[in-house]
Structure 1
Amino acid sequence: MTTDFSAETATAAVVDSFARASDPRLRELLSGLVRHLHDFVREVEPTRAEWEQAIAFLTATGQKCDDTRQEFIMLSDVLGVSMLVEEVNDRKEAAATDSTVLGPFHMVASPPRALGDSIDLTGSGEPCLVTGRVVSVDGTPLPGATLDVWQADDHGFYDVQQPDEQPRGNGRGLFTADAEGRFWFRSCVPSPYPIPTDGPVGALLAATGRHPYRPAHVHFIVTAEGHRPVTTHIFVAGSDYLESDAVFAVRESLVQEFTQVDAPERAAACGLPNPFRQARFDIVLQPEPSRSSN
């Protein structure tokens, strides 16, 4: 390291300090971070007061995190970083289902449920049936695929946000696809909702004139043996905020119709009132790359 630390020598000195890191990827990540962060400081020339405010903002962001809320994920989301990470990692075959953000509310384990069960434990929303198949890119069904599903209620709140009003596990379910890769479950049609605005991220959005709303959606994490897992959503066609999602997560391929179905016998067989809404979402997983033996 140099003792002659200046605006001209700062970056090289800090990057050099990581030269003996035993993990080459860690060295690459930290060196890149320092270069870009130093370039940012040189470009915008923050005052000491502004830098102290930035540190206070990050401190408050950390202090807002707990077992059921992750403010740093929301910060990453509203800055578009979460989706950018998805983009640079989503090098997939064209047929595979698009990925999107995890979001800040996948904080508890989803309860295992049987195919056809309802994840809407309060029954206050518009009933719907979600169906689909999990297949490989060549169309081969993936029996036994697991689907971790979660969504907000019809008022736009996740169970962890209202522990005194919603039963634990409301809007959540862990399903196993059948022998033909099929899955189906009952729920309520989700509604648009604002991400929480009572913390630093909400203050950031307000200060920049941005709204906090997300379009209506259902989350999925889908896994199957020998295939890459996918974290994705389905978005309700026609929902507000599809063009201005606060976390930039909408992909056209994930927008699905929740069609009204008027079929009394089918409704009765599914345990739903008639009429009801139905969405179909087929999920295509990409095989893991084969490992050639030496």
Structure 2
Amino acid sequence: MGSIAFSEGSSSDIVGERLSRCGQDDLIRGLTAVVTHLHQVVRDVRPSAGQWRAAVDFLTEVGHAADERRQEWVLLSDLLGVTALVEEINSQRPKGATPNTPRGPFYRADAPRLPLGADICLDGKGEPLGVSGQIRDLDGQPIGGATIETWQANPQGFYENQQPDLQPEFNLRGVFQTGADGRFAWRTVKPAGYRVPDDGPVGQLLGRIGYPLRRPAHLHFLVRAAGFDTVTTQVYDPADPDVHEDAIFGVKPELIGDFRPHRDPGGCHLWSLEFDFVLVRTRPGNRRTGDDTTCMQKL
């Protein structure tokens, strides 16, 4: 007696009150916010019962398309800008520091450790690219002993773990450690941009409405150093035609690389990229940034 009847106007309040009786931790507060906004979306869109079942069927298909090699939920988060928004909220840094971008689904924590100067292209296919730079702090001081991981697509726009039968194991990925001068260098090949997977429910839905689904050419980096915030980021090729409309909203002015063409003594065409990473010292009580096991993973 005396309880509010469930109705269109009271629905989120009633569910929210029921959740509040379970406690007040972060999970419950998050669920309450989701309920509030989801119920408002339903009130705004006013789907029929059939349309709502179709939406549930779509989400079911997304779940079925998620496995250890492919994460369709993460693709949905990425393409709707949610992943980028989470990064913005959790990795705010002062001017001059290297910004974060989404890690993507193709990261592998078991990539091999390699000596500086190694070649991470294991099949010899593509235009040679020399990558070098320095890891330093905001005062310009080098950070020795920092770890830098890299992974990238090949010249056809595919990562090694997308093509386990076509590319060598660990192709175009490696882990390096800087010397006392904070510098790093390795050899690779110039990556290509690509269309995000569109053979699953997310790509099919967004492709049907003409939503942008291409990513510009880029290299992934994950930089760690004791006492500093971890940086997970990407460096982009400014010559790629899709650099101004990245499907996952990762491109920032600070992350545009300078890919320079050269010719070796034999006349062969090659490229170089020099890029410095600027890290911020971790402050007590700061959220972890860029080093959490991310649930935001395509590209």
Q: Which has the higher contact order (CA 8 A, sep 6+)?
A: 2
Give the letter for the 1:38 counterpart.
H
Contact 2:132-2:274 within 8 A present in 1 as well: yes
Contact 1:144-1:181 within 8 A present in 2 as well: yes
Matches within 5 A, 1:66-145: 66-107=67-108, 109-145=110-146
Which residue of 2 is the match for residue 35 of structure 1?
36
Q: CA RMSD in A?
A: 1.8
Contact 2:127-2:269 within 8 A present in 1 as well: no
1:179 to 1:11, Cα distance in 2 relative to 1, 3 A: same
SS at match of 1:256: coil
CA distance in 2, matches of 1:173, 1:202: 30
Contact 1:192-1:240 within 8 A present in 2 as well: no
Give the letter for the 2:199 counterpart.
D
1:40 to 1:142, Cα distance in 2 relative to 1, 3 A: same
Which residue of 1 is the match for residue 191 of structure 2?
190
Report the Cα offset of residue 290 of structure 1. 3.8
Which residue of 2 is the match for residue 157 of structure 1?
158
Report the Cα offset of residue 238 of structure 1. 1.0
Superposition misfits of 4+ residues, deviation over 3 angstroms: 20-23
Which residue of 2 is the match for residue 276 of structure 1?
270
Question: After superposition, what is the alpha-carbon deviation per residue over 1:236-274, rounded to whole angstroms, capped at 9, x for unaligned?
Answer: 12112011111111111111121023454xx9xxxxx85
Question: After superposition, what is the alpha-carbon deviation per residue over 1:4-60, rounded to whole angstroms, capped at 9, x for unaligned?
Answer: 211122111111122144462112211111111111111111111111111111111
Report the Cα offset of residue 117 of structure 1. 1.0
CA distance in 2, matches of 1:276, 1:194: 25
Give the letter for the 1:240 counterpart.
P
Which residue of 2 is the match for residue 287 of structure 1?
281
Structure 1: 5+ residue runs without aligned partners?
268-272
1:20 to 1:164, Cα distance in 2 relative to 1, 3 A: same
Which residue of 1 is the match for residue 230 of structure 2?
229
Contact 2:229-2:282 within 8 A present in 1 as well: yes
Which residue of 1 is the match for residue 251 of structure 2?
250
CA distance in 2, matches of 1:118, 1:17: 58
1:49 to 1:126, Cα distance in 2 relative to 1, 3 A: same
Report the Cα offset of residue 2 of structure 1. 4.7
- TM-score by structure 2 length? 0.90
Contact 2:236-2:257 within 8 A present in 1 as well: yes
Which residue of 2 is the match for residue 146 of structure 1?
147
Which residue of 2 is the match for residue 26 of structure 1?
27
Report the Cα offset of residue 75 of structure 1. 0.7
Report the Cα offset of residue 229 of structure 1. 0.5
